[in-house]
A and B are shown apart, each in its own frame.
Chain A
Amino acid sequence: MSSPTQKFFAELEELSFVDEAYKQRFIEELHDHIEDSIHDADVRGIDDLNAEQTAIQRLGAPKKLQKNFNRMMKPQRLQTLLLCILQFVGTVSVTYASLIPFGGIADSVVNVARYLTGRPYVLDYPNLSSSITLFVIGLGVLGILQIIIFQTALFSLLSQDMKRSVFWFMYIFMAGAPGVLVIFSSLITPLLGIPFEFWTDQIRGLAPQYAITFICALMFLTICFTLAAIGVIARLNNSSFFLQLVGHLPDSINRPITQLFTRYRVFSHLNTVNIFGVLSILYLLFWLMVSLFPDLQAFLQSGNQYIMNETDPRIWWLIFVMPIMIISAIQTLTISSLFTTLSPIHGIWAAGFIYSGLFMLSIALIIISLRKQKIKTMQSFWVASVLALTCTMVLTNRFPNNSWDNPNNQTQWERPAKNLSVKIDKKVFGPFYMLYNSTSLFTPIPASQILVDTTGDFFVIQTALGSEFMLEFTDANRLKMVHRHTENTMRNVEKNLATAIPKELKDRIYCGEKTIDTTGDIFSDGTPAYFCTSLQIDNTLVASGGSIGLLDVAISPDNSTALIVTTENGKPQVYRVSLK
């Protein structure tokens, strides 16, 4: 049986301290302290066991020591804020950097499969120098900052009474989730890549479907994790966390809040499992309702259209992008703006594999916690997590009338206008404008690919964020975004993907004094292949002055219509050209 001293220190070791280095010193000095106490008691004629017990009693409970220590050693607010900022920067780098090897490995494996099936190669990861830079920056700060932030700032801000095991669970969730999970999930990428390539005909369209599923699920998970983390803390503190928190406010504010929490006991039931359970059900119900009631789906989509067409694109950006990937989207956008453009596949893969990673991690941790039978709360937490993930990954896709799964039940598209103009129409495309504005200090993020449908009236643009948008020319002067791209439209346009400029168009496009090289391919990863002082089609001047870069061109199969995307003095523009 262990002695009181051993028991005391075992308990103390389990607890988390705001400063790990000083924790070790603290423990060593307490050891010395007890030794000196016992020695003194010995001199006074007290027997060893009694002396030991008296010394331990004098020290007090380990939790009390821990609280004292943390109270005195916790960082200042400014220090905490700085740590949070550094943490964010660190996570950004790591998250993005972790995509590089993962993207590279995935592409390599996929290309092997493509080689065997005679398909063209793909290259989805950014250039090597930016990857290395990011990787170095990312890994350099990962080990240090993410741990510091949790050891000190967040920990001391939220709770001083946390078990080490729970502490690390929270660390994974709140600080390391994006980086850790992307790295983790990168291990399975090749395994998923091969079947995707070999059975591409059978699963055509499933990738974008899952991408959208993943992205929506990320939104759900972000909300879940944020609330669940609060729930964990509340639970750890026997639901008194909020009361403790409001205890620091002035009495005038404190009193009504305290009364609220005391009166409405529902707040005291706030815990991880409840939050996850309720949100899972709500999430499931939402997709069920949308699937069962096409009118509701149409209503939501029309709302979406309205937002996209009628409001300031920046508002749309805030509404759409921000909630979806509170962590990953901001990080990806920031880092890609700083260093390079991203191809859409990164967004899809990042979302998808973070999600897959979470799923597997949840299962693994359930097994671990079942074996240990230590933390019942966390076990329930992971069970709830798996339930939620299963719902989003499997069940929602199996619902009837799910627009992602059943293209025959899509909302009816607005039909294209018949009075197509023969004029050249110059438009500013919302999302481009939006991206340009949001990243004006850095590099604008243009479309990486444009697809055109059989009528020539619908265009699908994939942006560097990984999102796809469908555009429609309703009349000569109106370029309208009719829908975010879905699987159905992907199927329609995929066959008509233009990969080269036909001679008919090449002969009619003039770039300043020069005609475009007839052997050239202006498709590139968001980087203009040609810069002109003016752009002319037939005898009509489309744009002139400054630096006009040709980004992309898509042609309808009957060669009647073309969509040209340029960058003019850094600002993307879209032109629709009638070729007849």
Chain B
Amino acid sequence: MQFSKGLLVGAAELIVLHVLKTKKESYGYELIRAISQESEGIFDFEEGTLYPLLYRLEQKGLIESETKKAPSGKKRRYYKLTTTGTASLKERKKEMTFFFKGLEHVLQSQSA
């Protein structure tokens, strides 16, 4: 299912930050696969979206990157959360949970 851009804007950063936290560190290809697996195929990030998103998060200081060897033996750029990123993730999760709680209430009352 395709999501509208507006819906994905805030969520995409949260998703990437969350997956990076759970995996400690990861590189682009691995991240896309992990996001797809953990969302059971619902979030299938395009490469053209993921990489600029990572760069933007890096510019904001929420993640940092370094090049090192992947298990395959090839060099890959690994991304991981910074302290600011961890704090931001916590805050965003709280915000999003609260948001969905409200949304759920509204949608339930409408369907009732």
**A residues whose Cβ falls under 8 Å from a Cβ of B:** 19, 22, 25-26, 28-30, 32-33, 35-37, 39, 58-60, 64-65, 68-69, 72-73
- When distances are taken between beta carbons in the complex, the residues of chain B under 8 Å from A36 are 29, 72
Q: How far is the CB of A5 from chain B (nearest CB, A)?
A: 14
Chain A CB count within 10 A is highest, among B27, B28, B48, for B48
- When distances are taken between beta carbons in the complex, the residues of chain A under 8 Å from B77 are 25, 28-29, 32
Interface residues of B in 17-61 (CB under 8 A from A): 27-29, 46-49, 51-53, 55-56
Q: Are A39 and B49 in contact (CB-based, < 8 A)?
A: no
- When distances are taken between beta carbons in the complex, the residues of chain A under 8 Å from B94 are none
User: When A and B form their complex, which 10 residue pairs have the shortest distance between CB atoms, in order from nearest?
Assistant: A68-B48, A72-B52, A65-B48, A36-B29, A69-B52, A22-B55, A33-B29, A29-B28, A59-B47, A26-B51
> When the two chains form the complex, which single residue of A25, A32, A37, A60 contacts B74, counting CB atoms closer than 8 Å?
A32
Q: How far is the CB of B50 from chain A (nearest CB, A)?
A: 9
Given A30-B47, A33-B47, A64-B48, 15 more pairs with CB closer than 8 A = A22-B52, A25-B77, A32-B27, A32-B28, A33-B28, A35-B74, A65-B48, A68-B46, A68-B52, A69-B48, A72-B49, A72-B52, A72-B56, A73-B52, A73-B55
Q: Are B47 and A58 in contact (CB-based, < 8 A)?
A: yes
Interface residues of B in 63-94 (CB under 8 A from A): 72, 74-77
- When distances are taken between beta carbons in the complex, the residues of chain A under 8 Å from B47 are 30, 33, 58-60, 65
Which DSSP category, helix, strand, loop or mixed, fits chain B's interface? helix
Q: CA A60 – CA B46 in complex, angstroms?
A: 9
Q: How far is the CB of A16 from chain B (nearest CB, A)?
A: 15
- When distances are taken between beta carbons in the complex, the residues of chain B under 8 Å from A73 are 52, 55-56
- When distances are taken between beta carbons in the complex, the residues of chain B under 8 Å from A65 are 47-48
Q: Are A25 and B29 in contact (CB-based, < 8 A)?
A: no
Q: CA A29 – CA B52 in complex, angstroms?
A: 11
**B residues whose Cβ falls under 8 Å from a Cβ of A:** 27-29, 46-49, 51-53, 55-56, 72, 74-77
Given A59-B48, A72-B52, also A32-B76 (CB < 8 A): yes
Chain A residue with minimal CB distance to B76? A32
A-B contact count (CB 8 A): 54
Q: CA A30 – CA B56 in complex, angstroms?
A: 17
- When distances are taken between beta carbons in the complex, the residues of chain B under 8 Å from A59 are 47-48
Q: Are A32 and B29 in contact (CB-based, < 8 A)?
A: yes
Q: How far is the CB of A20 from chain B (nearest CB, A)?
A: 12
Q: CA A32 – CA B75 in complex, angstroms?
A: 8
Chain A residue with minimal CB distance to B58? A22
Q: Are B48 and A60 in contact (CB-based, < 8 A)?
A: yes
Q: CA A32 – CA B53 in complex, angstroms?
A: 17
Q: CA A65 – CA B50 in complex, angstroms?
A: 11
- When distances are taken between beta carbons in the complex, the residues of chain A under 8 Å from B76 are 32
Chain A residue with minimal CB distance to B65? A25
A-B contact pairs, 11 of them (CB 8 A): A26-B51, A29-B51, A30-B47, A35-B74, A59-B48, A60-B46, A68-B48, A68-B52, A69-B48, A72-B56, A73-B55
- When distances are taken between beta carbons in the complex, the residues of chain B under 8 Å from A30 are 47, 51
Chain B residue with minimal CB distance to A59? B47
Chain A residue with minimal CB distance to B52? A72
- When distances are taken between beta carbons in the complex, the residues of chain A under 8 Å from B75 are 32
Q: Are B55 and A25 in contact (CB-based, < 8 A)?
A: yes
Q: How far is the CB of A571 from chain B (nearest CB, A)?
A: 52
Chain B CB count within 10 A is highest, among A35, A68, A73, for A68
Q: How far is the CB of B59 from chain A (nearest CB, A)?
A: 8
Q: Are A72 and B28 in contact (CB-based, < 8 A)?
A: no
Chain B residue with minimal CB distance to A19? B55
Q: CA A64 – CA B48 in complex, angstroms?
A: 8
Given A33-B47, A68-B46, also A26-B29 (CB < 8 A): no
Q: Are B51 and A39 in contact (CB-based, < 8 A)?
A: no
Q: Are B29 and A37 in contact (CB-based, < 8 A)?
A: yes
Q: CA A201 – CA B30 in complex, angstroms?
A: 79
Q: CA A60 – CA B76 in complex, angstroms?
A: 22
Q: How far is the CB of B66 from chain A (nearest CB, A)?
A: 13
Q: Are B29 and A72 in contact (CB-based, < 8 A)?
A: no
Q: How far is the CB of B7 from chain A (nearest CB, A)?
A: 16
Q: How far is the CB of B100 from chain A (nearest CB, A)?
A: 25
Chain A residue with minimal CB distance to B54? A29
Chain A residue with minimal CB distance to B55? A22
